[in-house]
Amino acid sequence: MSLNKCRFIGVVFMLTIFLITGVAGAQTQRILLVGDSWTALMWDYRSFQTALSDSGLSQFEENGNIVRSGSRAVEWAQQSWLDDITTELTNNPTIDIVHLSMGGNDILAAPSQYDTAMETIFDDIDTVVNHILSIRPDIRCAISGYDYILDAGGLHPQLQRFAEEAVDRTSVNPRFFYI
């Protein structure tokens, strides 16, 4: 999927959420970024801010204080990292969307045991989402998929399967979305 298409899908998701939840004041933090290097890159390059500004929503901004390059879902499910999420949500009550990017590094670390690892990865992601919703039941969580060209043969097959599974798993939770 191209960057522009991903950006478009993300903006449509965010616009929908903003229209549903109402519009807040100037420079209001609405999106908490949680996850690995893909989220860190979104934060570093201010991808969400650019997409919001391009859509006429520059009064909203993202918070990337706790992104961690190279992190894995198993680490985010640990209490100390969950505590960091709690702190950000508590200190920033206007945040009503948590954007997750996690699981990819876990998959890449265990390619030969993908099927076994996938259940554990999604258990860890569920731990994170359930923790977020236990703090703020009205919040919306979104997980993004990502991929890259593995070699001349095409895209990374385990990351594609992970994305397909993420779509299925988010469909059963009305507060959890796949982008």
Those residues with Cβ within 8 angstroms of residue 129's Cβ, 6 or more apart along the chain or in another chain: 100, 141, 173, 175, 176
Closest CA to 29 of 64, 53, 55: 64
pLDDT digits (tens, 9 = 90+) for 114-148: 778 888 999 999 999 999 999 999 999 999 877 66
pLDDT at 23: 47
Residue with tokens 């390619």: 111
Cβ atoms of 27 and 59 within 8 Å: the answer is yes
End-to-end CA distance of the chain: 11
pLDDT digits (tens, 9 = 90+) for 144-176: 877 666 666 666 777 778 888 888 888 888 999
d(CA 18, CA 57): 9
Q: Give the strand pairing for 97-101 and 154-155.
A: unpaired
What are the structure tokens assigned to 94, written together?
């206007």
SS3 content of the chain, % helix, strand, coil (to 5): 55, 15, 30
Cβ atoms of 139 and 173 within 8 Å: the answer is no
pLDDT digits (tens, 9 = 90+) for 73-117: 999 999 999 999 999 999 999 999 999 999 888 877 776 777 788
Closest CA to 143 of 90, 97, 84: 97
Amino acid at 70: G
pLDDT digits (tens, 9 = 90+) for 13-72: 555 555 555 444 458 999 999 999 889 988 999 988 998 899 998 999 999 999 999 999
